[in-house]
Amino acid sequence: MVLVYSDDKKITFELLNKGNELAKELGEKLTAIIIGKPDDTLSKEYISYGADNVFVAETDIYQFKAEEYSIYLENIIKETGSETIIIGSNKNGKELASRLAGRLDVGCIIDCTNIYLKEKKLTTERVVYSGNAIAVEQFNSKPAIVTVPSKVFDPLPKDDKRKGEITKKKFDVEKSASKILKVQEMKSEGVNVEDAEIIVSCGRGFKKKEDIKMVQELANAIKGKTVGCSRPIAADLKWLSEDHWIGLSGHKVKPKLYIAAGISGQIQHIAGMRDSGIIVAINKDPEALIFKSADYGIVGDLYEVLPKLTSAVKDKIG
Amino acid sequence: MNIIVCAKQVIDVSEMKVDSSTKKPILQGVPQKISDIDKNAMEEAIKIKEKHGGKITVVTIGPTDAKERIKELLAMGADEGVLVTPPEKFDYFVVSNLLVSAIKKIGEYDIILCGEASIDMFSGQAGPRLAGLLGIPQITYAQNLVVDKDKVTADRNMGDTAVTTESSFPVLITVTKEINEPRLPSLMQILGAANKPINEMTADSLKSGLNPKVEMLELKGVSMERKNIVYKDDIDESVSKLVDSLAKEGVLR
């Protein structure tokens, strides 16, 4: 059996496509997992996106704890005799997969950007060394656990006519000694940099928070409207919410046009935007690393360049 | 309070070069360092010790030259180092099992601290995997820690949500870069570190017959070819050239 699990149903839809393909090749069935209250609507949706079966581990736990969720998954793996486990690579998914791998003492590969069978063995690719290399790795034992980030695979077209079986089961799960005291929605400005076609980003070259409006003005002029930033602006200075943060620990983006203003070009930032179409850098330091990763660059003070660039763009495209 | 810090020696990724003909990364001769976020874990351990007293042991799975890196952590404030040289082939399965054996040798502990991920592979697998193997609670992505006598409270950045988690001991905690600013040791501390013990062990002496479950088949290069056209003269002229180029690329409409 091939198992697919994520607490984010959008990622599950994507994983079901790849899971379906692998299951067919392995001659096995594909099962989507739900941990929580039985949800027939969601179960049917999983089936219409490619699952042969849905396994619901019924629980009234409503908060995610990797300690407890890993026991549910362990039970389901044993119950179904599954050997391929695909988990969505958000933060919950990564710690869950890793803990599960420790419990079962089996192989695990995090953040796969491709999964396939090579000589019948599960083989994966993932980006390593801050985007400078791709590691091709292969499992030589089973079960095999992999995690896959969002948007690596496209979902199958939804087919409401697909049929599948829904199994519900309760498990006794040992409670973790840890306690969740508070869960707060992160301050978000509703920005989705991952879907943006044009992004203008800011970094440490900006002297104060108010100055970031220059970036927004340029973004508006190019009709991109999306503002991104490097780590210090979101994580340290908190001038922008973390949904703007582009980089290795932030969001990975691939817009058609990426403009980096006042960003030095630390390798962690490059890892988040290197797949962009055209990259433009604006920096006053001619030696800044960012120019090495850019198609076009202007060496100059962003306080002078940005307003001029905004008005030149307005003149050009009206 | 007994604290164990897991630290990894990694290559300095910013110094890594790519072979221009094969496009494969060149790993030989690249300077080595302690993975950045593991230093944040070390700093946090020192802060806990400053408040509650106790002992900090650093564990590294790595080649013998990692001893020099462990000395940096001893200079920062660790009391003792443990260096385990891995077998020729290893993966997270092998490394986490070696960590468990090394930790059992170290003895009683209250807190294990790790970085959220190492800067070379950036999996974030080692910490939670180790917690699963040890069967102890895990607190991941901690941005702030408050350690009391018998419990720890952590603010965690989980992406869409901020989660506050509490746990009794023993517990494994992974920290993010934002949690603190790792200190730079003084010259006296660097000299003093030479007298602190580093216990060297081989993988076989801890747990023999560990074979990886995952094998690396190939490390492929990624070509990052960019036009690198940089305008550096008069700003007005640069801006107008850039806008023309972008228009020609078809990204301005």
Sign of CA dihedral B207, B211, B213, B214: positive
A70 touches chain B (CB under 8 A): yes
More confident residue, B136 or B225: B136
Residues A271, A131 share a domain:
no
Predicted confidence at residue A51, as pLDDT, reads: 98
Contacts of A66 in chain B (CB under 8 A): 128, 138, 140
Residue A187 lies in a domain: no
Contact yes or no for B128 and A267 at CB 8 A: no
Instruction: Find the angle CA(A310)-CA(A314)-CA(A317) to the nearest 5 degrees.
Output: 135
The residues, ordered by sequence, that sit 6+ positions from A51 with a Cβ below 8 Å of its Cβ are A4, A16, A19, A20, A30, A31, A32, A164
Contact yes or no for A99 and B132 at CB 8 A: yes
Q: Is the pLDDT of residue A94 over 80?
A: yes
Contact yes or no for B252 and A274 at CB 8 A: no
Of A178, A268, A305, the CB nearest to B239: A305
Q: Is the pLDDT of residue B76 over 80?
A: yes
Residue A213 lies in a domain: yes
* Number of structural domains in chain A: 2
Residues A144, A257 share a domain:
no
A66 touches chain B (CB under 8 A): yes
Q: Is the pLDDT of residue B13 over 90?
A: no
Predicted confidence at residue A286, as pLDDT, reads: 94
Mean pLDDT of B70-85: 98
Residues A155, A7 share a domain:
yes
Residue B66 lies in a domain: yes
Contact yes or no for B243 and A140 at CB 8 A: no
Residues 226-255 of A with CB under 8 A from B: 231, 235-236, 242, 248-249
Q: Is the pLDDT of residue B25 over 90?
A: no
Residues A141, A227 share a domain:
no
Predicted confidence at residue B14, as pLDDT, reads: 80
A25-30 long-range CB contacts below 8 Å, 24 or more apart? Answer: A25/A117, A26/A2, A26/A84, A26/A117, A28/A1, A28/A2, A28/A84, A29/A1, A29/A2, A29/A53, A30/A1, A30/A2, A30/A4
Mean pLDDT of A232-240: 91
CA distance A162 to chain B (A): 33
Residues A17, A139 share a domain:
yes
A38 touches chain B (CB under 8 A): no
Which domain CATH number covers A218? 3.40.50.1220
Predicted confidence at residue B160, as pLDDT, reads: 79
Q: Which of A129, A88, A151, A221 is nearest to B10 (CA)?
A: A129
Q: Which of A43, A48, A44 is nearest to A33 (CA)?
A: A43
Predicted confidence at residue B15, as pLDDT, reads: 84
Contact yes or no for B160 and A138 at CB 8 A: no
**Strand ranges of the sheet holding A30-36, from the earlier edge strand across to the other edge:** A107-109, A144-148, A84-88, A2-5, A30-36, A53-58, A165-170
A161 touches chain B (CB under 8 A): no
Residues A203, A153 share a domain:
no
C-alpha distances (whole Å) from A302 to each of A197, A212, A261, B174 are 22, 11, 7, 37
Mean pLDDT of A116-141: 94
Predicted confidence at residue B222, as pLDDT, reads: 78
pLDDT tens digit sequence for A250-302:
898 989 999 999 999 988 899 899 989 999 999 999 999 999 999 999 999 99
Residues 15-34 of A with CB under 8 A from B: none
Structure ipTM over 0.85, yes or no = yes
Q: Is the pLDDT of residue A131 over 90?
A: no
Residues A16, A145 share a domain:
yes
Predicted confidence at residue B223, as pLDDT, reads: 67
CA distance B162 to chain A (A): 5
* Number of structural domains in chain B: 1
CA distance B250 to chain A (A): 10
Residues A166, A29 share a domain:
yes
Contact yes or no for B13 and A278 at CB 8 A: no
Predicted confidence at residue B101, as pLDDT, reads: 97
Residue A317's pLDDT band (cuts 50, 70, 90): confident
Contact yes or no for B133 and A256 at CB 8 A: no
Predicted confidence at residue A61, as pLDDT, reads: 77
Contacts of A137 in chain B (CB under 8 A): 214-217
Can you tell me the distance from the alpha carbon of B63 to that of B50, in angstroms, rounded to the nearest whole number?
Answer: 31
Instruction: Find the angle CA(A52)-CA(A53)-CA(A55) to the nearest 5 degrees.
Output: 155
pLDDT tens digit sequence for A42-71:
999 999 999 999 999 999 877 999 999 999
Range of the domain at A37: 2-170
CA distance A263 to chain B (A): 15
pLDDT tens digit sequence for B172-224:
999 999 999 999 999 999 999 999 999 999 999 999 899 999 999 999 887 66
A89 touches chain B (CB under 8 A): no
Which domain CATH number covers A79? 3.40.50.620
Contact yes or no for B230 and A66 at CB 8 A: no
Nearest CA in chain B to A105: B93
Which domain CATH number covers B142? 3.40.50.620
Q: Is the pLDDT of residue A186 over 80?
A: no
Q: Write down the residue that tokens 């404030």 correspond to.
A: B77
CA distance A268 to chain B (A): 9
Can you tell me the distance from the alpha carbon of B137 to that of B114, in angstroms, rounded to the nearest whole number?
Answer: 14
Q: Is the pLDDT of residue A190 over 90?
A: no
Contact yes or no for A308 and B235 at CB 8 A: yes
Tell me how many helices (H) and strands (E) chain B has. Answer: 7, 15
**Is-contact A248 A268, C-beta < 8 A?**
yes
Predicted confidence at residue A47, as pLDDT, reads: 98
Q: Is the pLDDT of residue A218 over 80?
A: yes
Helix, strand and coil percent figures for chain B, each rounded to 5: 35, 30, 35
A56 touches chain B (CB under 8 A): no
Whole-number average pLDDT of chain B: 94
Predicted confidence at residue B23, as pLDDT, reads: 77
Range of the domain at B139: 2-206
Residue B60's pLDDT band (cuts 50, 70, 90): very high
Can you tell me the distance from the alpha carbon of A2 to that of A86, in angstroms, rounded to the nearest whole number?
Answer: 8
A134 touches chain B (CB under 8 A): yes
Instruction: Find the angle CA(B83)-CA(B89)-CA(B94) to the nearest 5 degrees.
Output: 60
Predicted confidence at residue A248, as pLDDT, reads: 83
Q: Is the pLDDT of residue A236 over 70?
A: yes
A186: number of Cβ within 10 Å: 14
Instruction: Examine the fold and report which residue of A111, A136, A170 is the final residue of a domain before the chain moves on.
Output: A170
**Strand ranges of the sheet holding A121-128, from the earlier edge strand across to the other edge:** A114-118, A121-128, A133-139, B214-221
pLDDT tens digit sequence for B121-170:
999 999 999 999 999 999 999 999 999 999 999 999 887 789 999 999 99
Q: Write down the residue that tokens 């023999």 correspond to.
A: B208
Residues 123-152 of B with CB under 8 A from A: 123-141
B22 touches chain A (CB under 8 A): no
Q: Is the pLDDT of residue B95 over 70?
A: yes
More confident residue, B252 or B136: B136
Residues A166, A21 share a domain:
yes
Residues A137, A22 share a domain:
yes
